[in-house]
Amino acid sequence: MGAERTDMAAGGTSRRALLAMIGTVAGSAAMYHAMTRLGFAADSTYRGLPNLQGAPPGSTVLVLGAGLAGLTAALELRKAGYQVEVLEYQQRAGGRNWTLRGGDIVTELGGGVQHVGFDAGQYVNPGPWRIPYHHAAVLDTCRRHNVALEPFIQVNNNALLHNSRAFGGKPVRWREIQADFQGHVAELLGKVTNAGALDGSVSKDDKELLLEALRQWGALDRNMAYVANRASSERRGYASPPGGGIAGAPRFSDPLSREDVLDSRLWVWLAEAFIYEFQTTMFQPVGGMDAIGKALFAALGPEAIRFGRKVTEIRQDADGVRVVHVDAAQGGEALTSTAQWCVCTIPLTVLSQTQIDCSPALRAAIDAVPYFSVVKAGLQFKRRFWEEDDGIFGGISYTDLPITSISYPSHGAFSGGKAVLQGAYAWENPASYALTSLDPAERVRQIVEHGAALHPQYLHEYENGVAVAWHRVPWTLGCAGNWSDEARRDHYADLCALDNRLILAGEHASYLPAWQEGAILSALDAIERLHRRVMGG
């Protein structure tokens, strides 16, 4: 049954037939699209890899750090004709593009050691864990290097929202707060609109449209009231949902009162569904985020990277760059690497403790950016109780407890058996510092303890866990650059500027801090400028 046969059977639905008539029908919309191209044009600054070419024979670059920025820079510079040497503190490539699995050992500042006890196939991404659809550079990296992706579930309407001081400490469903907040807002605005409060500012036609919109969008009844009925239950869920046969008559649920919704402050979480970086559709690499770093490392080849090297000095003069580095584990004898140019992707937290020959402006920029404090945990449970008992498949529950959130795996739904969820994601709040201050065992214990307030099944199902406190990670000393508006105004251009033979790259040298996209785009921007300088531009 070939395509030709089908087109004939369908009678003129072939492309040829379409071409003849589409102009008249689609009209100006088609013209508009043809000219502007929707999509990445507006969603990303990424325009594909830069086509760098023609580096003078013998050109050399030292790349410091083998995270996504360093790996990207090294690969593209080598393509352009540079000899590249990469120095990396860890014994692995990827940097914060990192996945923990059973058998891994996490050693942190302070001496704490965690032996990851997950079963085979289980993992947690302690660093980046999700890829927005508009992070085109990351997605294109995955495409070029055959990193398989699967959907990442960010928003789950059936996940829990929990404030230990609201609703008697009981979690409620996201959909309940979402529907009820929206319903009450629509009802309030509908009432004052009907009472004429907007008559001066909204036209009569728009007033009618607004009322119609509020009624539908807010699930209001004919009297513009948000009450227990089919409309509101079709948003917030039913007391007893529609079923089959005689037994299936639904019972509507009672909305939470406006006062209870407002007082609960659980509406603070609703915006998580609207934020540009969290919008559908998000992705994750199949099997763990580190698939990206591994793929880039495989493309670069092991001979290009020296692992286990801690950079202690970055020296430069008119002739070149000289980097001093020691064995990362034991200190030991210093070695020196030299090159004509240097791309440095070392986190600013570490770099600010490093001796560098650079302008005072760059030094000030390096010292100006604090790093986010983040604690993330992976917990293994005997079974997927969040799916089996609670109907939560992927997505995130939020709480005012120090763990901040519980994130359920987007993969392996219905697979039965053990599973790992992300049991904490404390981000730049007092709790993240408090959890960081604990030794790992106590940190995990408290994370499990808090999670049980949302899921008492923790009691019976918990097996083992690991909690990474990013300020204690020796090779980054923090999660990501936390730029204030003031710091960016005063220092960002200096941080990104080519300083003689040295240029910085990494998520900290981007407007997308903490995102892998920022790291890659920063690297591409840096090497383009570096190459232009090399070529005499």
C-beta closer to its own copies: residue 337 or 407: 407
Q: How far is the CB of 368 from its own copies (least distance, A)?
A: 17
CA angle 279, 282, 287 (to 5 degrees): 155
User: What are the residues whose beta carbons fall under 8 Å from the beta carbon of 322, sequence distance 6 or more?
Assistant: 313, 315, 316, 336, 337, 338
- Write the CA distances from 390 to 236, 294, 456, integer angstroms: 16, 36, 11
Neighbour order of strands in the sheet with 419-427: 172-173, 160-162, 395-399, 405-408, 419-427, 374-381, 462-469
User: Which residue in 192, 144, 52, 90 sits closest to 532, CA to CA?
Assistant: 52
Residues numbered 424-453 forming contacts with its own copies, rule: CB under 8 A: 439-442, 444-445, 448-450, 452-453
* Least distance (Å) between residue 348 CB and its own copies: 15
- Distance from C-alpha of 505 to C-alpha of 491, rounded to nearest angstrom: 14
Reference 46, options 144, 129, 125; nearest CA is 144
Stretch of residues binding its own copies (CB under 8 A), selected from 52-60, 153-161, 336-344, 353-361: 153-161
Segment near its own copies (CB under 8 A); pick from 138-146, 309-317, 325-333, 356-364:
138-146
| Positions 75 through 104 that interact with its own copies (CB under 8 A) | 102-103
Closer residue to its own copies (CB): 337 or 465:
465
**Out of 294, 310, 325, 455, which residue is the one contacting its own copies (CB under 8 A)?**
455
Site for its own copies in 304-343 (CB under 8 A): none
In the complex, minimum distance from the CB of residue 474 to its own copies, in angstroms, rounded to a whole number = 18
- Give Cα 2 to chain centroid, integer Å: 44
Note whether 18 binds its own copies by CB under 8 A: yes
Number of shown-chain residues binding its own copies (CB under 8 A): 178
CB 255 within 8 A of CB 236: yes
**Binding residue (CB under 8 A) for its own copies from 13, 194, 437, 484:** 13
Q: Does 463 bind its own copies (CB under 8 A)?
A: yes
Footprint of its own copies on residues 201-240 (CB under 8 A)? 201-203, 206, 209-210, 213-214, 216-217, 219, 233-240
User: According to the binding rule CB under 8 A, does residue 120 interact with its own copies?
Assistant: no
Amino acid at 304: A
Instruction: Please name which of 282, 329, 344, 368 lies closest in space to residue 74, comparing C-alpha atoms.
Output: 344
249 binds its own copies (CB under 8 A): yes
For its own copies, give the closer residue by CB, 326 or 452: 452
As beta bridge partners, residue 460 has: none
Please identify, among the stretches 89-97, 313-321, 367-375, 390-398, the one whose residues bind its own copies according to the rule CB under 8 A: 390-398
